[in-house]
Amino acid sequence: MENSIGKGRILSEKQLEIIVAIFLGVTALFSAWASWIGSLHGGNQVTNYTLSNNLASEGNSEYVADLQHMNADMSIWGQISTLMVDEKFSPVDNSDKLAEKAQYLLSNANNEGFIDAVVWAMDETEKRDDGSIVSPFEKDGLVESYFVDADSLISESQAVLEQGKQDNSNGDAYNLVTVIYTVVLFLLGIVGTLKMMPNREILLGFSILCFLIATIYMFTIPMPTGFSLLSFF
């Protein structure tokens, strides 16, 4: 009777115990790996969030400094435009003195593009018949040129922040894998407590299925940026 029952089994009791022991060990190793990689993602997240805050702070400081530089150049242009108005209504031709004074004022400019824009503004002003004065800040790209460094820092800060968010998402994914592996370890642990072999085989099969799903999912999750096992030796 026992032999006839045994012939219907997929695995012998000894084989089942060996498979359970193997998967217990492998699952424990994979669970430790997932937990470690998840913690590395968490560390990268904290590092990137901190770096992003520092870059944003530096970018804001740079923006304030750039704004001060632009305001200073606006003040220079205010003086030059006043000289242009005085020369326009002067009965004497003072164009040479105007150019000399303008050159002196422009020597204190904070932006090289501002100097070219002033030349452009003067040329545009001469072309107008209505006597209106064209501002150099009307030239395309001048205002933006003051904030190139600040915009670069802010953009870099945003990119690092997005990387930190991705690290957080990847870390959560590895934590989920660790949870599944923990469930697999629990299921494998109770396989031996079941008395009937068919039930043990079903539970073992389900445990292996969960293990495979978790493992396949884990390999779809990106590794931490710059990760290399050789760096730990």
Mean pLDDT split into 10-residue runs, the chain, 233 residues:
49 84 93 94 92 94 93 89 75 69 82 87 80 86 92 94 93 95 93 83 91 95 79 56
Specify the residue for token string 């060990």.
Answer: 25
- Treating both helix axes as pointing N-terminal to C-terminal, what angle do 112-127 and 95-106 enclose, rounded to 10 degrees? 150
The whole model's pTM is what?
0.72
**CA pair distance 79, 118, nearest whole angstrom:** 12
Residue 15 has a pLDDT of 85
Largest CA distance in the chain: 129
Helix, strand, coil percentages, rounded to 5, for the chain: 80, 0, 20
Residue 4 has a pLDDT of 42
**CA pair distance 132, 189, nearest whole angstrom:** 88
Residue 103 has a pLDDT of 81
Residue 197 has a pLDDT of 83
Contact predicate 59/150, CB 8 Å: yes
Question: Token pair of 233, please?
Answer: 């030796």
Q: Which amino acid is at 35?
A: S
Residue ranges of alpha helices (H) inside 128-219 are 142-146, 148-191, 197-219
Contact predicate 189/25, CB 8 Å: no
**CA pair distance 120, 141, nearest whole angstrom:** 13
Task: Please classify residue 20 by burial: count the beta carbons closer than 10 Å to its beta carbon, then call 0-12 exposed, 13-18 middle and 19+ buried.
Answer: buried
Residue 206 has a pLDDT of 93
Task: Please classify residue 167 by burial: count the beta carbons closer than 10 Å to its beta carbon, then call 0-12 exposed, 13-18 middle and 19+ buried.
Answer: buried
**CA pair distance 118, 104, nearest whole angstrom:** 13
3-state secondary structure of 71: helix
